[in-house]
Amino acid sequence: MSTSIHLSLAQVAAALALVALAAAISFWRRTDLERDIAVATARSFVQLTAIGYAIELIFEADTIWLVLALLAVMVVFGAFTARGRARAVPGAFWPLLIALTTAAATTLGLVVALGIFDPTARYLVPVGGMVIGNAMTASAVALNRLGDEVSESRAAIEATLALGATAREAAAPFVRRALRSGTITLVDSTKTTGLIFFPGTMVGMLLAGAAPTDAVRLQLVLLYALLGSVAIAALLATGLAYRNFFTAAAQLREPHR
């Protein structure tokens, strides 16, 4: 059924016409994004080409260790990237690293254990990349929100601590809101999927010539896996990172910027 799609570099280059259109809109409306658009285009080309060759090598080698090494690099890089968006949270790197590692391990472990995918590079690399990427975004959004919430609500948190509440009790409403904002985007997009937009995997499979029902089923498996991984990552990142705002004596630390 499946017929592979082959694109030449010239065809990829033709798509640059749309990048030029984006840059022209930016120039015309003075949004000052032309430089960023150019950097994004160049980076996406270099990064995706490099990862394309890396994945090809990993597929050819067909060993689980190389797959795990690639996933580990993605997790570490994801934790660094997410930390950049969580500057107001002290010591955010370790909670993020633990959150992304656990989300990736649990989600991939489950889809393999349930017999949905085989434990081979062809499945684990692309699915792992999606899981880690979405978990990174969700935990970055959640920690960014947590940092804002805590810095805006210092008086309320200290008033609760002053009653003899634990740090966990004083932070609970803000951790809850941060967790919600980390997961809500994916929940909302999952609700509207198929109605307002077609998710990437399904589009890719349809373009590659797969049967629509197969494309839909694979997309559903991935959406459900992503929901799980996003929830795990945001839960762990917020649940571990809030502690860093407090001392061992349940005192709110001075602002961290």
Partner 1 sequence: MLFELRDVSLTRGERRVLDSLDAEIEPGATAVVGPSGAGKSTLLRLLNRLADPDAGTIAYRDRPLDSYDPLALRREVSLVPQLPALLPGTVESNLAYAAGLAGKRLGVAECLRHAGLAAEFAARDVSRLSVGERQRAMLARALAQQPGVLLLDEPTSALDSEARDAVEATLRRLRGELDLSLVLVSHDAEQARRLTDRVIRLG
| Site size toward partner 1, by CB under 8 A | 18
Nearer to partner 1, 49 or 166 (CB): 166
Query: Least distance in Å: CB of 247 to partner 1?
Result: 8
Residue span binding partner 1 (CB under 8 A) among the ranges 53-61, 66-74, 80-88, 247-255 = 247-255
Nearer to partner 1, 177 or 217 (CB): 177
Query: What's the half-sphere exposure (Cβ side, CA atoms, 13 Å) at 38?
Result: 6
Exactly one of 15, 87, 166, 176 binds partner 1 (CB under 8 A); that residue is 166
Query: Least distance in Å: CB of 167 to partner 1?
Result: 10
Query: Least distance in Å: CB of 101 to partner 1?
Result: 32
DSSP category for residue 246: B
Within 135-164, which residues bind partner 1 (CB under 8 A)? 155-156, 158-164
CB neighbours of residue 80 within 10 Å: 13
Query: Least distance in Å: CB of 243 to partner 1?
Result: 15
**Euclidean distance between CA atoms 76 and 132, whole angstroms:** 10
Q: Are 143 and 84 in contact (CB under 8 A)?
A: no
Exactly one of 58, 100, 150, 252 binds partner 1 (CB under 8 A); that residue is 252
DSSP category for residue 252: B
Nearer to partner 1, 19 or 250 (CB): 250
Within 170-189, which residues bind partner 1 (CB under 8 A)? 173
Three-state secondary structure string covering 158-227 = HHHHCCCCCHHHHHHHHHHHHHHHHHHHHHHHHHHECCCECCHHHHHHHHCCCCHHHHHHHHHHHHHHHH
Query: Least distance in Å: CB of 172 to partner 1?
Result: 10
**Euclidean distance between CA atoms 156 and 174, whole angstroms:** 11
Q: Are 59 and 122 in contact (CB under 8 A)?
A: yes
Map tokens 């997410």 to a residue: 82
Exactly one of 54, 165, 206, 227 binds partner 1 (CB under 8 A); that residue is 165
Exactly one of 19, 116, 227, 250 binds partner 1 (CB under 8 A); that residue is 250
Query: Least distance in Å: CB of 231 to partner 1?
Result: 25
Q: Are 114 and 107 in contact (CB under 8 A)?
A: no
Longest dimension (CA), the chain: 68
Residue 114 in contact with partner 1, rule: CB under 8 A: no
Query: Least distance in Å: CB of 171 to partner 1?
Result: 13
Give contact residues for partner 1 (rule: CB under 8 A): 155-156, 158-166, 169, 173, 249-252, 254
